[in-house]
Each structure stands twice: as C-alpha cells, then as structure tokens.
Amino acid sequence: MPLHIIIGAQWGDEGKGRVTDLLAAQADIVARYSGGDNAGHTVTVSGPDGPRIFRLHLLPSGLVQPHVTGVLGHGMVINPARLLEEMTALRGLGIEISPARVKISAAAHLITPAHIALDRADEAARAADAAGEGKIGTTGRGIGPAYTDKTARRGLRAELMADAERLGDRVADQVRATNHSLEKLYGQPALDPAQVAADYTAYARDLSPYLAETSLYLHQRLSAGAVVLAEGAQGTLLDLDLGTYPFVTSSSPTSGGAFVGLGVAPRFAGRIIGVTKAFQTRVGEGPFPTEAFGEEAQRLRGTGANPWDEFGTTTGRPRRCGWLDLVLLRYALRVNGVTELVLTKLDVLSGLSTIRLCAAYQAAGQTHDELPSGPADLAPFQPVYETMPGWSEDVSGARTLADLPPAARAYVARIEELTGVPVSLISVGAERSQMVRCD
Ligand code: IMP
C-alpha cells in the first residue's frame, strides 16, 4: 500500500521520466502531482525495430508500462489541447489511452491561451524592466498565470469539462477579462473569446470521460494494497517555496507537494527517491554557483546530435551545465526526506581526465556545508571544489557496481559520503535497461 515518491533533486531534467518508467514495472498506478506541460519526460525503450522514444509532458511516464494506470492529480495545471495531442501521439506509438487507464482529477486546473499569452507578455515586460530582476526564463506554457488564477480563486477547474457549454462560457469570460490586461497593460494583441470558447467546448467533449475523483480513487487503491508512484516534475530548486525564488516554477514539485497535489495522506508514504544527474544543469535564469562555461560546459552539454544531449525536451533551449553541487543536493535531500538517490547520466562523464565536485561553499572567508540562508540568494557563495580522477572506459554496458571502473565507483562513493544517502541506481545510457543496480 505504499506511495513511493520520485522527486527531482536539482533544477529539473534529472531523468525522472526514465526512473519512473523503470520503477513502474513494480507499480500499479503512476500519478503526476504538480506542474503542467512545462515538464518534459523522455523514456527510451529498445524493440525489434530499434529504439522507441516516448516524450511525455502531461501524461505520467509510467503509462509506457502496459499494466499501469495513470493519474493526473489536482496539483497539476493542464492544457487540454496539449493533452489531446499527447494522447494521440502515444496512441500512435502503441500505448493504450482510455478512461480505464488514464484518470484526470476533476479538481486540476485548466490552462487556456489567455494564460499562455499572459506568461509570454509578462516575461517580455520583465526583460524590458531595467530596474527589476529580469525575466524568469519560463517555458512560456502559461504555468504561472494558471496557478495565479488558482490561488486567486478564479481558476477554471477540469470538472467544468463535464458541461462543455458552461466551460465554453467560462473560458470566453476569462479571455475577455485577460484581453483587458493584454491590451492595456502589456500592449499585446487581444485573443478571440468566441474562437477559444469553441475550441474548449470541443476539448471538453473529448476529455470529460477521463474525469475522476482521483483522491478517492488513490485512497481506495492504496488501502487495497496497490503500489502507487508519485512522479515529480521539475525539481526541488524550482519549488515555489523551497527553490531559488523568484527563479522557480509556480508549484510544489517536492515530496510534500505529492500529498497535497494528489490528496493522499502522508501515512501512505513509502520510499522517497531523489533523482540527480552526476553533474548539474539548469534552464532559464537564476543563480547557478557551479556553472561551467566555454569548452567545459560544451563538453557536458553535448552538441545536440544525441537525444540525451542537454537541450530542453519542452523548449529545445540549451541547458546551462556545470559540476555537481553537493551543498544544494544535501539541501534537496533534507527538505524532501529522500531515502535513496538515483544518479543519472554517469556515462556522460566518461573520458574526462578529472571531475569536479562542489563539497562546500565559501563566503567572506567562511566555509559553509549547508546553506545558511536558504537557496534564494546564492550570489555571495563561491564553490569549494574537490577534484577527483576521471575514467576513460565506456560504462554504458555496466549493470552492477563491480562493472564500473574504480574511479567511477570512487565518485559515486564520495557522493554517498558527502550526502549520507545511499545511491540505489545509476544510469549509464538512455535506454531503459542501461542501469546499474547498486544492491
Ligand atoms: P515555468 O514553469 O514555465 O513557469 O518556468 C519557470 C522556471 O522553471 C524556468 O526557469 C523554467 O526553465 C523552469 N522549468 C519549468 N519546467 C521545467 C522542467 O521541466 N525542467 C527544467 N526546468 C523547468
């Protein structure tokens, strides 16, 4: 009956999708609890005709496993147009998408074109405001404005889709209200309320069969012994409260968010699995103490020729890259209560003569193992690096710790030592089976 929670321990893009897919083999239900189509999860499965790559933004990655039921929890914000596109794409790849397999919380909130227009207009205004902190670098998917409407108690909940005509009227009202801000505040063109209403009426007809009381469903299934995986999106450092504010997303992708975003009680909690890359990346603006530049960064990022190179799954933006930051990782493990770590992309480090690891920060002549004032203001801190020897061997075929070269094992052991959390899995390639099991 446990709820195992998979969280990102960095700034997102840690590889949670492929970890969810792997662990879903032993689960009955996989549930998303926060965020929207700002997330991009990739699962690679090899078959007789070569690798099949599944890219998911809204549907839980666990759906790639045929026995799994997927839940979109009420902590999410859902763009119905994107969800329908994703459903069609997955069906095309042979995945069954039906109301029996996919359940959408009636209390999730809907994203509309008005939210997207506001997100982009606000980013442009922030970028132009010389006195402000600059833009956030959002994904432009309307996430922030949709959560703003939710907290302002004027949001459009998915339950409105049960009455398509009523949803159409509500969406038209929302577009008219937003047009005022778009035109008067941001100098942007207005949207057509009638067109948006017609589109949402059609989406509602397609999606209403998927609506469910997902909190009750999950409670009943957990009580009956089901194993549920809560699939985090984004990462701890993008959490609205716990991240590098204001350069964060507008939801709670941390483990606490899973209970709120699914309506499941904490007493069901099982393992809390923290996923981190073997190095550090970030998309969008905001502090990044261990950021690398020039050739070093390019080496970690890759050229973009491979699907696993460091370019956004959702926006295609090149990710900022750098060295693993153990100060931030320790913080993430603490606030989530992580019980085990999954280390991804160890193979990307193969071939480097040395690898750097940020063990502590330094500021004003003092060394800090922990963040003295949280993660929002990292500007005063300089990373204190340990330099470890690299390895030249190809590790992509490793399946046990003993298969890894000694220098790679030493790197993993040092991470365990500096975090106090055991590493249970290490990914050494994009394919589902390319995992080292550490037990
Ligand atoms: P938003 O979530 O689109 O509002 O973007 C806010 C910040 O979160 C920006 O820095 C985005 O780049 C970042 N972000 C949102 N979703 C993801 C994700 O799935 N991976 C990595 N960064 C993300």
User: 242: CA distance to ligand 1 center in Å?
Assistant: 14
Sign of CA pseudo-dihedral 419, 425, 428, 429: negative
pLDDT at 81: 98
- Per-10-residue mean pLDDT of the chain, 439 residues long, equals 95 94 96 96 87 93 95 98 97 96 98 98 93 90 98 98 98 98 96 98 98 98 98 96 97 98 98 98 95 96 92 88 98 98 97 97 96 93 98 97 98 98 97 93
**Active-site annotation holds for 347:** no
pLDDT at 131: 81
Structure tokens at 340: 């085990």
Sign of CA pseudo-dihedral 29, 31, 37, 43: negative
Q: What is the DSSP string of 378-408?
A: -TT-EEEEEEEE---S--TT--BGGGS-HHH
> Which pLDDT tens digit goes with each residue over 134-192?
899 999 999 999 999 999 999 999 999 999 999 999 999 999 999 999 999 999 999 99
pLDDT at 87: 98
Structure tokens at 92: 């095309």
User: 312: CA distance to ligand 1 center in Å?
Assistant: 10
Q: Which atom of ligand 1 is nearest to the CA of 144?
A: 4
Q: Which of 4, 21, 37, 41 is catalytic?
A: 41
User: 293: CA distance to ligand 1 center in Å?
Assistant: 21
pLDDT at 311: 94
Q: Provide the residue count of the chain.
A: 439
pTM of the full predicted structure? Answer: 0.96
**Active-site annotation holds for 21:** no
Residue list, ligand 1 pocket, CB within 6 Å: 11-13, 38-40, 136-139, 141, 143-144, 233-234, 238, 247, 249-250, 283-284
Structure tokens at 7: 């969280």
